[in-house]
Structure 1
Amino acid sequence: MTQSIYIGLDIGTTTIKISGVTQQLETVYEAQYAYDYLTPHKGWTEIDPDTWVEIVLEGLKELFQQVPAETVAGIGITGQMHSTVFVNKHGLSVRPAIMWNDHRTKELIPAIRKQLLTNAKAAHIAKIVSTGSPLASLLWLKEEEPENYQQLNKFLIAKDYVKLRLTGTYSTDYCDASTSSLYDLNQDCWSQEVQELFDLEEQLFPEILPAATVIGKLTEDVCKELGIKEPIPMVSGTGDNVASALVSGSFEHDQPLVSLGTSGVVVIPNKHHQLKKTGKNVIAKITKDDNSIITQGTVQAGAKVNSWWLENILHTSDYPAEQQQIDKSLLGENDVLFFPHMNGEKTLFANPELRGAFVGLSLETTREEMYLAVLEGLAFGIRQLFVSMKNEEQPDYFTIVGGGAKSELWIEIFANVLGYPIKRVMTSQEAVHGAAILAIMGVEGSFKFPESDYQMVQPDPTLIKKYTTRYKKYLKLTQLFLLAGGEEE
């Protein structure tokens, strides 16, 4: 009997990934496609959303040349969160989509926050609204391009526009809705108060469906273009951070996840809808009966601090060689501290102007000490984030994923800075695989995690003690930076 294949799509910021897997998550097909977005003005980032659709269709055509279409049982999707597409009544984009990393609304944010704080039920949204938020992008369109706003029938997040073009259906999921600054986290629905405060019509808001819900099948036109006979079901999908948490097993075991990618993301799941005061509360709601929530915070510079130091400063791309130069006896003993917030900070300090620094340099400071400080600095920043958002129950371990997780030295540093074992998954586990899991859940009704190949890195009690002392110094350094730079309200 031929086994079913499930497709995952990931609409990333600069790449689109397509993966085909079995029910046991064995990869049978993998491809990725790079693309560029537009920067028509300083601080603006936007894209014609049909770019995503064209790449996905071409990618699926290539997939079906190697994977028989009749074996594909479902398609799941994930992608960048916040990036907003403005769609007219014909389902076409009225202008380029405004991406999550766009800063054109910077001047609007203080007034939006002030307005939100005038209503007790909308006040919690004031903490999370920022440049790139769908609320901010919608209000910018309304104010700056009224002729385009008049044509607007629905706003959709990036992955939702791809779903629309593939299946002809309009919907979003709870993850993208709850992070849009247009959602009532207490009532679990679009915020009526936000609609009233900013005069936004109810019709603009798409239906919200659990992530594993089958929303429809590929349209006849899409099937014809792909050269396949039977339409394939597609699920609602979710944002990339929920997809990453799902595939890492975080929801299954309620353990925190650290993603060391372009940004350093801390994801803390809980099954009881506990809303935290710090961090972004994201409703996961993978199935109808699921009450899972993740609280998410970010060190924006993330693993990028590593490539910055090696490539921009040392002018080398030999990462392993540089790390091998660091003597293990230096761990916990380094006199140099590094402040990792090199391109602003959103979660703890709400200060986009915050910048990084080295402290404790002397004439004896070595290249190795400075590099180690960079690696330790991000670990300290991640620990500070975790402490501010953690569950009442202590974790058993942290799972670390992303490009930075490939470094054995960095994993060892994280284990001792955090003071917990680190689960380092050896097989590739990315958001695109989380999207495929959603397709399996939607079509099959459930998903059982296969045994995965992983390594548990244990912390050293002596190093934990040393790093706790260093961490206290790091916290003092943080306070000095806030006093010097000022904390933005």
Structure 2
Amino acid sequence: MDSKKACILTINIGTSATKIIGFDYLGVEVIFKKGSYPTFHPHPDWSEQDPEQIFITIMFLLKGILNDASFYDKYFVQSIVLSSSMHSVLALDKSGNTLGNAVIWSDNRACEISTSLKGTELGDRIYKNTGTPIHAMSPLSKITWIRENEPEKFEKISRFVSLKEYVIYQLTGEFCVDYSIASATGLFNLDQLNWDADAMRFANLDTSYFSKPANIFHSDLKIKAPILNSLRLDKNTKLIMGSSDGCMASLSAGSMRSDQAVVSVTSSGAVRVFGQECLVDGKGSFFNYILEKGKYISGGPTNNGGVAFEWAARGLGNNYQDLPMEELLVKLYNETAKVKEGSEGLIFLPYLQGERAPIWNSSARGVYFGLNITHEPKHIIRATLEGILYEIYSIGRSIKSHRDFQTIHLNGYNAMNPLWSEIICDMYGLPASVSTYKHGPNMGAAMVGLTAMGVYESLEDSLQIAPEKIMKNPNRKKNKVYSKYYALFERLTQKLES
């Protein structure tokens, strides 16, 4: 082992896939593996995933890495750090067995429950305490739905965990959750760093149903001996709690300044800002997730990022249906680039999966407005892309009215695309830096892991390994066109609310 270099493995449990990336102690990627899995929609508005399939995928990827001679001969794994998407809920019985699939962030079955709670005195108090908007995405709403609609199942439940917690349990036999994932549940008090009493009363639960909260650097959990042996890992290999994918993606921007917004677009999307205090508007419009004490990542998420564009691509890319999705998207981007900004008056409201920020309406639906006889599929594709980004812009606009920012940073594989990044920069009318590394959550996890291992004294110090950036400046002429059509986008959203 003396001749090998130490490295850290980062596991990001995403919505459509898990990515495991190894980094050396200079922050350089040394190995990459990815495994995908499906999301199930057994009923309208339901979105579920199989936790066993996700864990098996993770183990398969780890096996592939640790049996890869080109990696194993050069590196040894000193630590593993985890990140994952937020808002998932999985019910376990008293033996730790799963009771059905995990309900994930895009599931809207609890819409009526969140609607009835939002705006009440109790709902306002829970939002103030937890920082999580009252919405169907929230585990608080999902758990309440299970209690009210599946009472026989509810009686068997001993614990609620996220998918990340379930993976940690399978690896260590312990139930533990990081502050960031906990703060996305709507059940976690940001000031007390523990489970919130008001949320517990609403859900009719006590704290025994939830994991022990820990900071993102926590590394006291021990990986089970059989798993260490199976993976050929050293017994001293540390498992570091890590954070949520959103927090990690924001860290990878390489700045923790409050005057910069981070715009991330993958299958979903978000606009986030750093701050020492929560972002509050009196309407419960913004999420506030804790990274560590005194460091908050606030903003708003959208349900309809790349997933909405791929939906349009499958439906309208008739000439290229024999191509894999990645090649299909390249062809459609080339077609889209030929259409002028504004799509000749065609507007798309991208609410295919309901919507979170800034309208927080699970019942919202997609609309094409302004179709005329001269529009071709390329106009519809362009309007789809612009509609998704009008929504992203609307989140940033609502944030900017409460916390000013002067620049934006773009990451996530869609936001980094040259066409997407150009449109985002022009819509915002602000200078933009674009990451050159598309696996932001894994890079952020490496920053947390290397800080936990003592390679860096603080997260601020770890920012030095952030990926290089490409700088963009907005086109003022195009910004005026987008501003004109955004006003129509906003009016349509408001008028169709009822």
- TM-score using structure 1 length: 0.87
> What count of residue pairs does the alignment treat as equivalent?
479
* Offset of residue 429 of structure 1: 2.9
Counterpart-to-counterpart distance in 1, 2:166 and 2:431: 40
SS in 2 for 1:24: coil
Q: Which residue of 2 aligns with 1:479?
A: 494
1:199-348 correspondence to structure 2 within 5 Å: 199-251=204-256, 255-277=260-282, 279-286=285-292, 290-315=293-318, 316=320, 318-325=328-335, 330-331=340-341, 334-348=344-358
1:59-458 correspondence to structure 2 within 5 Å: 59-66=61-68, 67-68=71-72, 71-113=76-118, 117-118=121-122, 121-122=125-126, 124=128, 128-146=133-151, 148-185=153-190, 187-251=192-256, 255-277=260-282, 279-286=285-292, 290-315=293-318, 316=320, 318-325=328-335, 330-331=340-341, 334-390=344-400, 392=402, 394-444=404-454, 446=456, 447-450=462-465, 452-458=467-473
1:380–1:146 distance in 2 versus 1, CA, 3 Å: closer
Give the counterpart letter for 2:227 in structure 1: V
Q: Which residue of 1 aligns with 2:324?
A: none
Asked if the contact 2:410–2:432 (Cα under 8 Å) also holds between the matched residues in 1, the reply is yes
Counterpart-to-counterpart distance in 2, 1:161 and 1:323: 39
Counterpart-to-counterpart distance in 2, 1:6 and 1:320: 33
Counterpart-to-counterpart distance in 2, 1:479 and 1:144: 32
SS in 2 for 1:86: strand
Counterpart-to-counterpart distance in 2, 1:312 and 1:119: 40
Asked if the contact 1:77–1:436 (Cα under 8 Å) also holds between the matched residues in 2, the reply is no
Asked if the contact 2:279–2:402 (Cα under 8 Å) also holds between the matched residues in 1, the reply is no
Asked if the contact 1:117–1:123 (Cα under 8 Å) also holds between the matched residues in 2, the reply is no
1:63–1:43 distance in 2 versus 1, CA, 3 Å: same
Asked if the contact 1:95–1:148 (Cα under 8 Å) also holds between the matched residues in 2, the reply is no
Provide the aligned C-alpha RMSD in A. 3.0
Asked if the contact 1:113–1:126 (Cα under 8 Å) also holds between the matched residues in 2, the reply is no
Give the counterpart letter for 2:20 in structure 1: I
Asked if the contact 2:16–2:36 (Cα under 8 Å) also holds between the matched residues in 1, the reply is yes
1:182–1:365 distance in 2 versus 1, CA, 3 Å: same
Give the counterpart letter for 2:175 in structure 1: Y
Q: Deviations over 1:282-320 (max 9, x none)?
A: 32324xxx4221223233221233323333123235434
Q: Which residue of 1 aligns with 2:33?
A: 31
* Offset of residue 158 of structure 1: 0.9
SS in 2 for 1:242: helix
Q: Deviations over 1:308-348 (max 9, x none)?
A: 33331232354344444456793368433332223322223
Counterpart-to-counterpart distance in 1, 2:37 and 2:337: 40
Asked if the contact 2:255–2:463 (Cα under 8 Å) also holds between the matched residues in 1, the reply is no
Q: Which residue of 2 aligns with 1:461?
A: 476
* Offset of residue 409 of structure 1: 2.5
* Offset of residue 476 of structure 1: 2.8
SS in 1 for 2:256: helix
SS in 2 for 1:285: strand
Question: What are structure 1's unaligned runs of at least 5 residues?
Answer: none
Q: Which residue of 2 aligns with 1:12?
A: 14
Give the counterpart letter for 2:418 in structure 1: E
Counterpart-to-counterpart distance in 2, 1:479 and 1:382: 16
Does residue 57 of structure 1 match 2:56? no
Counterpart-to-counterpart distance in 1, 2:377 and 2:479: 24
Give the counterpart letter for 2:451 in structure 1: M
Aligned-residue sequence identity (percent) comes to 23
Give the counterpart letter for 2:294 in structure 1: N
- TM-score using structure 2 length: 0.86
1:305–1:424 distance in 2 versus 1, CA, 3 Å: same
Select between 296-305 and 236-245 the one with higher mean Cα deviation: 296-305
* Offset of residue 160 of structure 1: 1.1
* Offset of residue 143 of structure 1: 3.8
Asked if the contact 1:303–1:403 (Cα under 8 Å) also holds between the matched residues in 2, the reply is no
Q: Deviations over 1:383-431 (max 9, x none)?
A: 2111112375532321222232343222222111101122111223332
1:229–1:239 distance in 2 versus 1, CA, 3 Å: closer
Asked if the contact 2:337–2:419 (Cα under 8 Å) also holds between the matched residues in 1, the reply is no
